[in-house]
Amino acid sequence: MTPSGVGHLVVRGALPKRIRHQKQGLARCDVEAEALRRWKPGHPYWLTTSEAADVLGVSVSRVKQLVAVGYLPYVRKGDRYLFRRPQVEVIGNARRVRWGGAS
């Protein structure tokens, strides 16, 4: 979602402003929930299982294993697992540093 798109949602009342009289008075969870509601394939913030596997440099089945043991945070959207790109990138970077693959 773009900043102007978020502003339009606040004006329409779709996103509640948590802090009155402040330009940036939104709760991150509210913005994230609205972004999830509007999710379409290729969204820049949310990754599918295969996209998360690409970022992590592992297989799709390994991503599912990481989800099953609780090592990879996710959100359900229907029958899909969606992953927050920033979280997956941090995990991927830590993995590369730990295993000596940082470049």
pLDDT along the chain (103 residues), means of 10: 62 63 65 74 86 94 94 89 92 77 50
The pLDDT assigned to 94 comes to 84
Q: In the CATH scheme, what is the code of domain 41-103?
A: 1.10.1660.10
Asked if 82 contacts 74 with a C-beta cutoff of 8 angstroms, the reply is yes
- β-partners of residue 32 are none
The pLDDT assigned to 40 comes to 78
Query: How many residues make up the chain in this entry?
Result: 103
Asked if 63 contacts 52 with a C-beta cutoff of 8 angstroms, the reply is yes
The pLDDT assigned to 102 comes to 47
- Location of each CATH 1.10.1660.10 domain in the chain: 41-103
Asked if 85 contacts 44 with a C-beta cutoff of 8 angstroms, the reply is yes
Nearest to 33 by CA among 16, 21, 57: 16
Query: Is pTM, for the whole model, over 0.75?
Result: no
The pLDDT assigned to 11 comes to 61
Residue 93 neighbours by CB distance under 10 Å: 13
With residues binned 3-state (H G I as helix, E B as strand, rest as coil), the percentages for the chain, rounded to 5, are: 50, 10, 40
